[in-house]
Each structure stands twice: as C-alpha cells, then as structure tokens.
Structure 1
Amino acid sequence: MTQTLEAEPRTQDAVSDDTCFARFTNVQKSYDGVELVVKDFNLDIRKGEFVTLLGPSGSGKTTCLMMMAGFETPTHGEILLKGNPISGLPPHKRGIGMVFQNYALFPHMTVAENLAFPLEVRHLSKEEIKQKVQRALAMVRLENFGDRRPAQLSGGQQQRVALARALVFEPELVLMDEPLGALDKNLREEMQYEIKRIHASLGVTMIYVTHDQTEALTMSDRIAVFNDGIVQQLATPDALYEEPENAFVAYFIGENNRLQGEVVERVGDACSVRLDSGEMVSAKPVAVGGVGSRTTLSLRPERVSIVRNGETSFDNRFTAKVQEVIYLGDHLRTRLAVCGNEEFIIKTPNAEGHSALRPGQEIEIGWSRADCRALDA
C-alpha cells in the first residue's frame, strides 16, 4: 500500500477561501501502489490567475494537471473546484477547457466544425453555435480560416484553433499541457504572447504545464517548480529568479554559476565561505547550516561585473582568465576560469564596450554579497 505522507509546509502565498478558485490539498498519486509520482501536493489558485507547473520530465507536473482534468484519480488527498470536490466527476462534467501539445484536432472536420463540436455536445442552438464559433475565431485572429481543414494550416495556426476550441464554450478554467512544444522558436514566442493576451482579455483561470523556464517566466502570475513529485518553490517569476530558495530552483530557473565550499563564519545576514579551491567568498545565507556545513553558492552571470580602475565597491573581487567570448548582439557571454571553476559565465551589455576581451586575457571581476546566495550543497 502507498504510505500517506504528513503534509509539508506550503511554500505559497496565502489564498483565502473567498478568492480560491481551485485547490489541491495533500494530493498524492501512485501508479503501482508503492512509488509516489506526486508527493503531498498543495496548491491554491485564485480566480483569473495564470499558474504554471514547471519542472523536468517525470517530475509530476503533468500528472497533477491530469488529475485536475479528471483523466487521473488521486491516490490520496482532495481536489476542489469552486469549493466543491471533483474527484468523482467524469472529465466531461467538469466544464474545463483542455489544450494538448499534439492539438488533437479532428482532421476530417473544418476549423469551424472543430470549434462547433464542444458546443453541439452541450446542445446549443445553431445560431448560438455560429456566434460563439465566430467569436472564438476572432479571439485567436483566424476569422477567415473557418472553412479550412487542419491539414491546410501551419503549426501555429493549428495551435490557435486548439486554443479557440478550449475557449469556445467559455469555461472558467483552461488546462494546457506543453501546448507549444511542437512549434519552432519564433512561433513558440509568438504564441506565448498570444496566450497571455487572451488570458488578460478574458480573465479565465489557466493552469499551464511546461519544462521550458523561459515560457514559464514570460507568461505566469505564479510558478510552481516541481522536482521528484514535490513542489520545490511556488512564487512569482521575479521572486523565483531573484530569490531561489534551494539549489534546484536556482539552477533550473535561468543560468547560474556554481561555487562549492564550506561555511567558516556566519553572522546575521552574511556568511563567509571557503571554496574548495581555497578562496574566501562573502555570501548571503539562504538555505545553509552553521559553521562547517557544506554549501553551493549561486551567482547569476549578469550580477558579475568587470572591475574598472579604482573600483572598490565589491564585497568579492577576483582575478579571472578569459576562456571564450561569444558575441550575442545586445550582450557578450564570456566564459572565465576563476575560483577553480573554468565554466564561470558573465554577461555584459554590448554598450559597455567590452568587445575587446580576448581568450587568454586576465581581468578583474567582482560581485556583491547580496547577489551571491549560499544554498544547500
């Protein structure tokens, strides 16, 4: 039998019962009765909110979405929608819109017929169906594509139709499972803004699943970062990026430099860490123990500066050797060897005039204590 876990503290903003639209309470899921794919999942979602479940493959995020949709049943715990338990309701009675990665459009139907289908099964009149289909097509900017079949559309257009079909019957909740994964980079970025625009205009609640961190940061009100069936952190995009609570979140969200070491002093909101390479670094203790504990320092590449003559404002300052310089238009991505790490990355705006950096050159770099977070080892 699956062992029921005690509830873990919720790492999320408080959501009152009055504003809570959807709720997962101590939800667990096991497929074999032994191993838990989802471990004690707690999440409150406000009405009209865009929440993304983000994590690597196999982390449990899609399973949570499928349990909300009704395609999977929780092994333990409760799922509420507008205050009512829904675990016993079949999918078609939950009134939830769903968008999949593979579009799931009917190939033998026109675009308009695909959109009309969920309205027909709800027994709407022909006039109502016609009006709602036209409204949904206008919403995704495909007003003149109603007579085409899916095979006559581009990938981006097919995804717009799939989105319109999920919205055409005006659900209060829309679930999206990796909906942009099959699109190329440019189309994917275009659809991110399109979905966000539609969300803002309709005020519908959306739960979105992806493993793409950029997608999550671009679109979400809040993001739940999954790993191994557990939510590692739930926060707004800027809080996740600027204030990761553990090493997994720091390295899964954005790019990070990692420096390993041991805490040798800790006083208030500062700690001193002796790196494995011997250097001493001043850092901000976030998820680390006392003196003698191992830690991983997290430092964003854009928070590291090239030290100019006479600058003394940095808490940490080291000599680094340039390994590689990559020109990326608006900024330079430079790989350095410093503090025993030959994969140390800094990003400098092109306007700063550092394009003269060359491999083999020695430079001075520096960063503040507040930008260097001491996390779990």
Structure 2
Amino acid sequence: MTADHIVRFENVQKSYDGESLVVKNLNLNVERGEFLTMLGPSGSGKTTCLMMLAGFEPATHGEIFLNEQPINNVPPHKRGIGMVFQNYALFPHMTVAENLAFPLEVRKLPKADVEAKVKRALEMVQLPEFGGRRPAQLSGGQQQRVAVARALVFEPDLVLMDEPLGALDKNLREEMQYEIKHIHDNLGVSVVYVTHDQSEALTMSNRVAVFDDGVIQQLAAPDVLYEEPVNAFVAYFIGENNRLLGTVREVTGDYCMVELDGGGGVVKALAINIGGVGSRTTLSLRPERVVLSPAEGAVPNVLTGTVKELIYLGDHIRTRMTVSGNDEFIVKVPNAHGHASLKAGDTVQLGWVAEDSRALDAPQDGGPA
C-alpha cells in the first residue's frame, strides 16, 4: 500500500459466537485526510468495524493496519486515535478545559503547551468562553462540540465518530453536521464516521461505505451512490426511490427492455445488475426524475398512474400514485402553476428517460423489498 492510506482492513472478519459472521471478509482502505462514513441499518456491521479499528473489539480473522503498522495487538490507548461517542463521554467532575487537557496531560505535554492547545481547541469549536464550565452546565450541542474538541486536541492522525449526533434534535443535528464538516476541511484530519442516517452521510462525506449483512454493498462518493446505485439495497437505502418489479424481455448493449408487473407495459432501462432474458429485476427510479403529463414523444417510457395523495411541501408537491401495481409510487412535482389543478383520483400520464431508470437485482423471497 502507499502512504496515501492511513487505515487498511485486510480480510477482516468478526464473529461473536464462533458461528455467524457480523463482518465478512472486509477489505477497505481509508485514504489519508478523507472523511469516510460507514453507513447501514442496525446490525449491518458498521459499528463493529469501528470498534475493531478503535481496539475495543478484537478481529476474529484478518489484520487492521494504521499508518502501515499492524495494530490488532495494540491496546486502544496506544493507537493514538481520537474518539467521539453519541453519549459524549465527558468527565462530569471536570471543567470543559480540564476535559480537553486530560488527553494532553496523559501524554505528558508541558503545561504551557497544554494551555495553548486547549485554548485553540475551544476556539475551533466556537466555545472560547466555556472552559470554566462543567459539562452539566452545557447544552447537548455544546457538550458534543467539547467531545469533538477533545478528540482533536492532541492532533491525532485519525478520528473515529460513532453516531455522534444521534442524541441531538433535528435542527441542531444539521448544524453540527456542517460544523464537523468544516472542522475536517480546515484541519485535514482523517475521519471514519458511523451513522445509520443516509442524509447525514451524503452531507458530510468524501466517500460512503454502505454496509448490509456484514458486507460493503457499495463504496463511492455521495453523488455516485445516489445517481448510480449498483444494487437494489443501495438504491432504496440512499434517498427516496421508486421500485417497479418486472421481467427482463430483451438486452441490447447497456440497455434492457423490462415487462412490468401489474400490466404496466414494457419500459426501457439501463441494464446494471440483471440476469439474462426472463430473469426478474427491480427498476430503480428517483421521484424527481419523473415527469407528469410529458409532451408526446418527449420521453420513451410513458405509463398511466392514478393520484392517491398530494402533500404540499413548499417548493414541491409530493404526489403519491398507483403505477403498475405499486401504490407507493412517488413523483416530486415542482410547485408551478401548471400543476395546481391536480387532485386525488385523477388519472395522468407520467414518463421518464431510459437513463434515469436502473434495472437492478430483484428482491429475494422474504428479503427487503
């Protein structure tokens, strides 16, 4: 590996009971200076990976490298990694300044250096006047800023964050997303971040590793994950997505023709992750890519839908429809004068270009739809 990688997971597996694997043969490089998010539902293996990297859980198989040094047998406190937890983990009997000084004093830094670094860390998280307060005297957002400052104060090469914003309300959570992103941009420190919140991952990350069932389903930049999901799980875990089930009837180059269930007709889509002719497939289509009442010949795929519900959301109208047997087909209609007359019960045509629909793997029996 090159020096551009700060972390390397090499064939890492983890089992708690000796039988089932929570993490299955993970191979992953974290690039120096990047913000990489491990994203996935509960039980997908993302937090276990973070705990193995931190040293709180041993790997069952494989090796983890930090700065090209194997660290499987290095205790957590000797790995030099900053950690931020959801519950802040601040010492309640210490002031904010004492909390920040603690990791520096453990490293036996001179007192003058400790004071300078604590002062700089408080300024970094915009809390320069709060050094004398105790954690209990701070709001949740302020406590989380202190936790971030404490993880960064000893200038580690790597900071791990485990659902750090999970306890905050929506507005504060969004504010802290930008705070942490800006701190990362300014310092250039490497960050590995764990969350189950896909909007958080898209907002903050250089790359996102989408986990499911102990395996990385896709590793890519946020815009690639959203625009080019490689399978049905990623398509429906990242952002809102319409799902239409059907059967592949023809494959020509990069495209395929799919006969939709429910008598919806045949549509053209990008052939991304399908079997041969006759195989089942899931079409992935973003709500904002669907056009209502398209002009004749404007788009190749045209279906008929029935409006079930209209929800006014200011800049757009979220329109729920029945399309090809799917009662949860969503169209995001821009809030323009032309759609003011749309109402529940209306039957309308809708369409999209072939490049906006991706033919992916079909759901397994009993699996996520």
Q: Report the Cα distance in structure 2 between the residues aligned to 1:61 and 1:248, rounded to whole angstroms.
A: 16
Q: Is 1:27–1:76's contact at 8 Å kept on the other side of the alignment?
A: yes
Distance 1:353 1:100 in 2: 49
For each residue in 1:38-58, what CA deviation from the matched residue of structure 2 results, as whole angstroms up to 9, or x when unmatched?
A: 001111111100000000001
155-164 or 119-128, larger mean C-alpha shift: 119-128
TM-score for the superposition, normalised by structure 1: 0.94
Runs of 4+ with deviation above 6 angstroms: none
Give distance in 2, aligned partners of 1:352 and 1:280: 32
Aligned partner of residue 132 in structure 1, secondary structure: helix
SS of alignment partner, residue 3 of structure 2: coil
3-state DSSP of counterpart to 2:262: coil
Q: Is the 8 A contact 1:322 1:336 kept in 2?
A: yes
How many aligned residue pairs are there?
A: 361
- TM-score normalised by structure 2 residue count: 0.96
**Equivalence map 1:266-345=2 (5 Å):** 266-278=251-263, 279-308=265-294, 310-345=295-330
Q: Which residue of 2 aligns with 1:264?
A: 249
What is the alpha-carbon distance in structure 2 between the residues aligned to residue 99 and residue 311 of structure 1?
55
Structure 2 residue 232 is matched with structure 1 residue 242? no
Residue number in structure 2 paired with 1:62: 47
Output the amino acid matched with 1:111: V
In structure 2, what is the equivalent of residue 174 of structure 1?
Answer: 159
Match of 2:11 in 1: 26
In the TM superposition, what whole-angstrom CA distance separates every residue of 1:307-336 from its partner, at most 9, and x where no partner exists?
24x431211111211110001111110001
Give the C-alpha shift of residue 353 in structure 1.
4.0
Give the distance between the partners of 2:131 and 2:336, measured in 1 at CA. 48
Map of 1:130 onto structure 2 = 115
CA drift of 1:28 comes to 0.3
2:365 corresponding residue in structure 1 = none
* Aligned mates of 1:354, 1:239 — CA distance in 2: 31
Query: How has the CA–CA distance of structure 1 residues 36 and 135 changed in structure 2, closer, same or farther, with 3 Å as cutoff?
Result: same
- The CA deviation string for residues 240-288 of structure 1, in whole angstroms up to 9 with x for no partner, is 0000000000000011111111111111111111112122121111000
> How many Å separate the matches in 1 of 2:110 and 2:4?
34
User: Can you list the C-alpha shifts for 1:13-58, whole angstroms capped at 9, x where unaligned?
Assistant: xxx5231111101100011111111001111111100000000001
- 1:199 is matched with which residue? 184
Code of the residue aligned with 2:43 in structure 1: it is G
Contact 1:322 1:358 in 2 (8 A): yes
One-letter identity of the residue aligned with 2:284: S
| SS of residue matched to 1:374 | strand
Alpha carbons 2:210, 2:218 under 8 Å: kept? yes
Give the superposition deviation at 1:362: 1.7
Opposite residue 156 of structure 1, the aligned amino acid is G
Aligned to 2:366: none
> What runs of 5+ residues in structure 2 fail to find an aligned partner?
363-369
Please provide the CA RMSD for this pair: 1.0
Give the C-alpha shift of residue 102 in structure 1: 0.3
Percent identity (aligned)? 69
- Structure 2 residue matching 1:36: 3-state secondary structure: coil
| Corresponding letter in the other structure for 1:166 | A
Checking the alignment, whether the CA contact within 8 Å between 1:332 and 1:355 is kept in structure 2 is no
Instruction: Give the structure 2 partner of residue 363 of structure 1.
Output: 348
Work out whether residues 24 and 80 of structure 1, in 8 Å CA contact, stay in contact via their aligned partners in 2: yes
